[in-house]
Amino acid sequence: MTEVDIHAFIPLKSQWFHILLSLAGGEQHGYGIMQEVLNRTTGKVRLWPATLYGSIKRLIEAELIEESDERPAPELDDARRRYYRLTKLGRRVLDAECERLEELVHTIQVTRRMVTE
């Protein structure tokens, strides 16, 4: 297997970033991802089903996420749900994007201080 350049994915599309971030804490099903994004962004970002599942399909193709074979106990689950998790590559790409965004925020903060002085 050849080494993938994680920077080829950077900057991430907004919806990809939110999906990967939702999976950083563990496996999720699609509806769970939608709800987590909505809650984390206090309603500012809403991933509609077509956007979410189209993005999930492309994230799987890019090998950033994968479908999980593990399932919760049947009484706690709906058999129709598909669960997703980050791949190692997905984790590396998410880490690189978070680092990029942190640097961007730092630059903004420094610039603001310079302007107000």
- Better-scored residue on pLDDT, 73 or 26: 26
Q: Which residues pair with 83 in a beta bridge?
A: 29
Percent of the chain, pLDDT > 90?
Answer: 78
Q: How confident is the model at residue 4 (pLDDT cuts 50, 70, 90)?
A: confident
Average pLDDT over residues 82-95: 96
Mean pLDDT of 41-58: 96
99 has a pLDDT exceeding 60: yes
Q: pLDDT band for position 75 (50/70/90)?
A: low
Q: What is the pLDDT of residue 79?
A: 63
- pTM, rounded to two decimals: 0.87
pLDDT for 93: 97
Give burial (CB, 10 Å; 0-12/13-18/19+) of 90: buried
| Under 8 Å between Cβ of 15 and 47 | yes
pLDDT band at 1 (very low <50, low <70, confident <90, very high): very low
